[in-house]
Structure 1
Amino acid sequence: MVTDTHRAIEAVWRIEAARLIAGLARFVRDVGLAEELAQDALVAALEQWPGEGVPRNPGAWLMTTAKRRAIDRIRRDETFRRKLQELGRDLEESSPDIGAVVADDDGIGDDLLRLVFVACHPVLSAEARVALTLRLLGGLTTDEIARAFLVPEPTVAQRIVRAKKTLATAQVPFEVPRGAELAARLGSVLEVVYLIFNEGYAATAGDDWMRPGLCADALRLGRVLARLAPREPEVHGLVALMEIQASRAAARTGPGGEPILLADQNRARWDQLLIRRGLAALERAETLIDGRPGPYVLQAAIVACHARARRFADTDWQRIAGLYERLAEAMPSPVVELNRAVALSMAFGPAAGLALLDQLIAVPALRNYHLLPVARGDFLAKLGRPAEARAEFERAAALTRNERERTVLLGRAAACEQEMHDR
């Protein structure tokens, strides 16, 4: 039976888990051990709080309990004296009281920032970084992560276990990198957060077009990162990008969950609060730029053009095409070129977009990327070439792994075939 106390414990855990693990990781210098200690404290709360009541400062209670468990573990460890020297603390003193723990946690923001950089360390694969970040900072269970990315739960569990072992073996320091290393590592952090968001915004596979829970987790991580690194323009740029994209969520699917493309969305359903937050984050990012804007700031500027347009017809496509050109210089990528082709087609006609797309057909990275034939099919349809357009939509439908998207693409192919018969 779920009691009010159990619900309170669940809520406290969702709020405090990342902060608790971060503080413990600084204390014991081991992410895997920190998570175990945090789980021990959670078990203690489940055992004690129903009878004793929820403490006045539940986060501090959990930290105190976990640190006591850490002291007990280290005392039992054969390398007790070496651990004492590494930690630089006299753990033989009496366990800290609540007041001491609260005072010790005054730097918890720094601990969270360190944990972000550890979980997203380049020594880990992209899949491992995502899984570990969602586990430690998003508070998701292995089952929740597995369902979100449509992979078996044991696969996710193995990724997380291996990631922790890899970090321990590589002796990754629990610290925020400095100088040039910071820029390189920050890129990895932002990449992971945006990868999580994108999987929620447009699921790569499965029956659902969107997974809003993943978008929410990524947004929360981005907002935390913005508070912890307030002088980094790319962090604010990513937050702006996600806020504005998330504002369209309610308008992106129909009553049956079917996708609704940007041109057909009811903009009255866009979340104006998220748009205002996104535009404010973009403004902060732009004031912090020293030199050329980075990729996330440029992408945020692109989605801001859509957010400011009251109707699809009001979109400043020429500005968007120019921003994509700058983005291609800052972050050369075939996918960026594909998006630039779409912007060019909207600004200067489908023939202009098709000319750029035809240069991308032979690019190996786009060979199985379903959005290339989607764009070509769209341009060819607008140019009055329905037979060629139908073939492109059918190819795109065969390449996508998302069932909702496949249905839409086959519908567009059927519309092209109908147009051929009507001629």
Structure 2
Amino acid sequence: MESLERVYREEFGRVVASLTRRFGDLDVAEDAAGEALLVALGRWPVDGVPANPGGWLTTTATRKAIDRLRRESHRDAKHQAAHMLHDDTPHEATGVVEDDRLRLIFTCCHPALAPEARVALTLRLLGGLTVPEIAAAFLVPETTMGQRITRAKRKIAAAHIPYRVPCAADLPARVDAVLAVLYLVFNEGYLSTSGDAPLREDLTAEAIRLARILRGLLPDATEVTGLLALMLLIDARRTARLAPGGELITLAEQDRSRWDRAAIDEGHALVRECLALGRPGRYQLLAAINAVHTDARDVRDTDWSQIAALYTQLAGIDPNPIVALNRAVAIAELDGPEVALALVDALPLDAYHAWHATRADLLRRLGRSEEARAAYDRALGLSDNAAEAAYLSRRRDQLGG
């Protein structure tokens, strides 16, 4: 079963892209790929994983797509698409992006689509994330995200946008969307919004792997370097983030001797490389913030003034409420919880569990226990991560009463 899940995760995007090129319908491609998995679930545990699992899945999914097209319509155009099984067209060259997964991400991040639509669609087709997980990443309702993805599919079909292998000239126009995809996939692995596993190392490792490849393709793109540094510095703390009972351990409470110093050293070196070029961007500043955190051997040694300054700089180029929320956390360490709470309360983040968790902590520090308890309850109601819920519940219960 583990082998099947791994293979399917690796091959899913390739199968969907292949079927989309052949039949011109993303919905058919996704459904057929899903049906192929169900067949594999029944056969592979008995017959074993085939020598060419990707080819097996593609062939099975193609047959499923043909069956669906035949059932849905008898129009000549659909029959013609269904009979394209034997396509003798030579395979396209891989171009400058040799990694299959990264190439498909670049292919899906077409500039004709709105930036958020590119990211959402790519996360759905290639990142393996569900619509609820993507909606949580964008802080929008599940129905809104579902509609956004559907509209992106329709635009691709209506505008006849080709799923072609990107050439070198395509990369700069698409790199921002690709970075957003990698970061959101990493974040889903860092703190899962659904499922039984609070942390998903498969997602964080894949995002880091692809970022390394991307840096090799675009060595002068400082935001690519910044994202790689950011992910390394965050992932370096992974082994210290869960207690034996499964409760999340916050940065302030982690045993820093368990951090991966090799990853931290690499991340710090990449941050210094970015800073030397003097072209700060979102991911570089986030990496610099995490470099300050990981430079402190004890939480009491944290340079909060530098962190607040970096968040202020980040807000200047990426003015969004999440940045403001994190800046307020740093302000609480410098100017006290009352000043920070005023900043937090002004933010439009009522649907975001971390906003309520931050308010709860600030209210607790101010001795406003009843309000803190209500804020913890609200955060718990919005969090689907069991490890985080365990931490929030403990903090709430420590209020007493």
After TM superposition, the score normalised by the length of structure 2 is 0.68
Match of 2:227, as an amino acid?
L
CA change 1:185–1:359 in 2 (3 A) is same
Contact 1:41 1:65 in 2 (8 A): yes
Residue 261 (structure 1) aligned with residue 250 (structure 2): yes
Q: How far apart in 1 are the matches of 2:257 and 2:86?
A: 61
> What is the SS of the residue equivalent to 1:212?
coil
Match 1:292 to one of 279, 289, 302: 279
Alignment of 1:61-72 (within 5 A): none
Q: Runs of 5+ in structure 2 lacking a partner?
A: 384-388
State which drifts further: 330-339 or 68-77.
68-77
Q: How far apart in 2 are the matches of 1:373 and 1:165?
A: 41
Q: How far off is 1:226 after superposition?
A: 5.0
Q: 2:399 maps to what in 1?
A: 413
Match 2:374 to one of 363, 385, 395: 395
Q: How far apart in 1 are the matches of 2:45 and 2:362?
A: 61
Match 2:324 to one of 337, 342, 346: 337
Deviations 1:27-79 (A, max 9, x none): 55543444456567765998799879844x55467668878999999999723
Q: How far apart in 2 are the matches of 1:71 and 1:108?
A: 29
Residue 313 (structure 1) aligned with residue 300 (structure 2): yes
Q: How far apart in 2 are the matches of 1:111 and 1:199?
A: 21
Number of equivalences: 379
CA change 1:199–1:408 in 2 (3 A) is farther
CA change 1:37–1:277 in 2 (3 A) is farther
Contact 1:244 1:303 in 2 (8 A): yes
Residue 22 (structure 1) aligned with residue 17 (structure 2): yes
Q: Runs of 5+ in structure 1 lacking a partner?
A: 1-5, 84-90, 418-423
Q: How far apart in 2 are the matches of 1:52 and 1:252?
A: 37
Deviations 1:274-318 (A, max 9, x none): 43554455456557x6x5311121111111222222222332323
Q: 2:202 maps to what in 1?
A: 216
> What is the SS of the residue equivalent to 2:399?
helix
Identity %: 37
Q: How far apart in 2 are the matches of 1:94 and 1:410?
A: 61
Q: How far apart in 2 are the matches of 1:373 and 1:271?
A: 31
Match of 1:306, as an amino acid?
H
Contact 1:20 1:63 in 2 (8 A): yes
> What is the SS of the residue equivalent to 1:268?
helix
CA change 1:39–1:80 in 2 (3 A) is same
Q: How far apart in 2 are the matches of 1:65 and 1:123?
A: 33
Q: 2:76 maps to what in 1?
A: 78
Q: 2:224 maps to what in 1?
A: 235
Match of 2:12, as an amino acid?
A
Deviations 1:333-354 (A, max 9, x none): 33323322332343xx443x63
Residue 112 (structure 1) aligned with residue 107 (structure 2): no
> What is the SS of the residue equivalent to 1:174?
coil
After TM superposition, the score normalised by the length of structure 1 is 0.65
Deviations 1:70-118 (A, max 9, x none): 99999997238997xxxxxxx798747xxx65x7556665741334416
Match of 1:223, as an amino acid?
R
Q: How far apart in 2 are the matches of 1:122 and 1:226?
A: 26
Match 1:361 to one of 338, 345, 349: 345
> What is the SS of the residue equivalent to 2:109?
helix
Q: How far apart in 1 are the matches of 2:31 and 2:181?
A: 24
RMSD of equivalent CA atoms: 5.3
Q: 1:373 maps to what in 2?
A: 359
